[in-house]
Amino acid sequence: MNFIWGFLNDHQVLCTVAAGYTWSAFISALPAPQANSSVMYQFWFKFLNVLAANISRAQSTRVESSPNFAAAFNAQNAKTGTDKVVVEMDPAPKP
């Protein structure tokens, strides 16, 4: 145990960079919220991405990253009169 503590004490910058990179990688692996994601998941997704310095991912306004992309795409498809729904949505789980 003394060896580990000594290593951490001697290489503080290296350990900080490695821990920050690992933290960011774990947060970046979270899947983007979907239209049927809970409000809590959407909150934690945005909150953790801000903490991991993934500001652009947390506040993305691209249509593909929008939680309502599938629903909006299907609504637009319905307006144009096409019969085929391109994006299939699973119904929201009932509590």
Integer Cα distance of 12 and 6 in angstroms: 10
List pLDDT tens digits, range 33-83: 776 778 888 888 888 888 887 777 777 645 455 556 666 767 777 777 766
User: How many separate domains does the chain show?
Assistant: 1
Integer Cα distance of 4 and 26 in angstroms: 23
| Residue 17 belongs to some domain of the structure | yes
Residue 95 in tokens: 């509590």
| Residue 8 belongs to some domain of the structure | yes
pTM check: above 0.95: no
Structural domain including 54 reads: 2-62
| Residue 7 belongs to some domain of the structure | yes
